[in-house]
Structure 1
């Protein structure tokens, strides 16, 4: 995979993927403002999916599991400007601002299409990536400008950017049923459910009477079986979305679980159409 990144500061980068596809399961520790220069991205979350393309601008909230699949498009690389809105930066910004909106419990990806104010702000960063050095205060001003624009065009954005609470303890089974398809460490599952890793494993055992890894594999295989059988999806189309990384490994454990290969299931499902 040919991936390059140019940084103005650790919080602002120009990211480029040259290969056919790049996939990752991520949970961002900070909010990410992204502007698409070229390429295409599919972002899959627990309750919704998004497609973004050239010109789109969107905000990915922190602490929300997602599968991100990046594609080049029309012979051009997958290229984006990424601005990290860190907790430190936002705390400083909001230090003297009274937030009157209610806090959003589960913030979702916010799309701004190609809003001219945001596009102008992010486009102005491009020349800086070719400079050897950029005064840090200039980069900080550009981030402050972006936050100010977001507040001007989205009246609900304060409920997301101004929320500095860490994940609290949530219902374990409800969370797992919504997020089992994301490849996260047990520590991250614990953090997002408001538990230490020890408490997470103990509570999981009480709820499911098995280990998290065994349960996750089982649920992902069941989802894959459903998508192939009922929606006639090819294994190559769904392995990333159901939480697997490797097609041969997926095919092996699928056949071990069900007694037939995923390709055989697909052939059978197509006959029923």
Structure 2
């Protein structure tokens, strides 16, 4: 696996991946602004999937679960410039600007700004700095991030409802959340955090709600989703196992056969 990340600051990086694919399930601590140089990425959220290609620019909101699968494409590596819009920088930015007070956005959507010239120019201007031997000046990095935020606000009049929302997840309905997000292979601590619970409270509330352990329920739900994709969508096991929350094909095949009595490849 050839996966490289170059940082010019802790908040600005260039990632390069030149293998068959790279998959991760994650929740981002900060909003992430991404510009694709080459390759392809599939991002799967609870109720929607996105495919991004070379030239696409998108913003991933913080504190939302996603499965991310990166692919090289057309003989070129998966390559992207990534900018973290940290809570600290956003608080500082919004303390200096006038804005209309709007209700905060809870929607877990990904914002797409495909090939927007202003954003592309801003992010492309960072490329030469990745080859510098000396340290990238922090004041310039700060200006670049401020430029990106300002462009986002110019493009989308409603972006403040996302970027200026500094609230942390509160206690929410556990059943509804888990029914929407069970396919994400995250530590139980993360599920607890996103539902506003400690790990011990999450386990207790989960057993009370579902009458089974989280681990057993998650495997069963993921296998049921896989069965649906295999039988109703005519997908192959190799196209399904990662999307439903399994780490490798052999473990998926073993668990599937144990539950249904036959291998997924026989469907």
Q: TM-score, normalised by structure 2?
A: 0.98
**2:117 aligned partner:** 116
Q: 1:135-173, CA deviations, whole angstroms, 9 ceiling, x for partnerless residues? A: 111011100100000001110110010000001111100
| Cα shift at 1:134 | 1.5
Q: 1:75-122, CA deviations, whole angstroms, 9 ceiling, x for partnerless residues? A: 000000000000011011111334422200223100000000000000
Give the number of aligned pairs.
265
**1:46 aligned partner:** 46
Matches within 5 A, 1:166-205: 166-205=168-207
**2:85 aligned partner:** 85
In 2, are the aligned partners of 1:99 and 1:162 still within 8 Å (CA)? no
Q: TM-score, normalised by structure 1?
A: 0.96
Q: 1:45-75, CA deviations, whole angstroms, 9 ceiling, x for partnerless residues? A: 0011100000000000000100000000000
Distance 2:84 2:96 in 1: 21
Q: 1:219-254, CA deviations, whole angstroms, 9 ceiling, x for partnerless residues? A: 001111111111111000010100001111111111
**1:106 aligned partner:** 107
**1:270 aligned partner:** none
**1:34 aligned partner:** 34
The answer to whether the aligner puts 1:130 opposite 2:131 as a matched pair is yes
**1:207 aligned partner:** 209
Moved more, 22-31 or 126-135: 126-135
The answer to whether the aligner puts 1:63 opposite 2:63 as a matched pair is yes
In 2, are the aligned partners of 1:107 and 1:160 still within 8 Å (CA)? no
Q: 1:143 aligns with which of 142, 145, 163?
A: 145
Unaligned runs of 5+ in 1: 267-273
In 2, are the aligned partners of 1:33 and 1:83 still within 8 Å (CA)? yes
The runs of at least 4 consecutive aligned structure 1 residues that moved more than 6 Å come to: none
**2:230 aligned partner:** 228
Aligned residue for 1:194, secondary structure, equals coil
Distance 1:161 1:3 in 2: 30
Aligned residue for 2:36, secondary structure, equals strand
Aligned residue for 2:190, secondary structure, equals helix
The answer to whether the aligner puts 1:75 opposite 2:62 as a matched pair is no
Unaligned runs of 5+ in 2: none
